């Protein structure tokens, strides 16, 4: 039973955007670079949230907190 728990944990583990398909990695990286150019932090945060909704809509699943962190630098 303990092995099932470990396997379940693995399935629910959030993956880095670098674990996506190559074309998705390039897209996410490009979006991060564009977001870094938005000077107004409030606008940047709004765009980040909108983009996360778009990722979910198109089933591009990864650790969105990593995306937020990288785009907010």
Range of the domain at 22: 15-72
Residue 14 token pair: 């959030």
Does 19 reside within a domain? Answer: yes
Does 48 reside within a domain? Answer: yes
Burial of 67 (0-12, 13-18, 19+ CB in 10 A): buried
Does 56 reside within a domain? Answer: yes
Q: What is the pLDDT along the chain (73 residues), one digit of tens a residue?
A: 444 444 444 555 578 888 888 999 999 999 999 999 999 999 999 999 999 999 999 999 999 999 999 999 8
User: What pTM, to 2 d.p., does this model score?
Assistant: 0.78
Does 2 reside within a domain? Answer: no
- The domain total for the chain is 1
Which residues have C-beta within 8 Å of that of residue 62, sequence separation ≥ 6? Answer: 14, 15, 16, 17, 19, 20, 28, 55
Does 3 reside within a domain? Answer: no
């Amino acid at each position: 039973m303990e092995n099932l728990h470990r396997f379940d944990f693995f399935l629910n583990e959030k993956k880095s955007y670098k674990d996506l398909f190559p074309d998705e990695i390039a897209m996410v990286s490009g979006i991060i670079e564009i977001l870094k150019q938005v000077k107004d932090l409030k606008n940047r945060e709004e765009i980040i949230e909108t983009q996360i909704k778009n990722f979910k809509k198109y089933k591009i699943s990864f650790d969105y907190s990593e995306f937020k962190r990288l785009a907010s630098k």
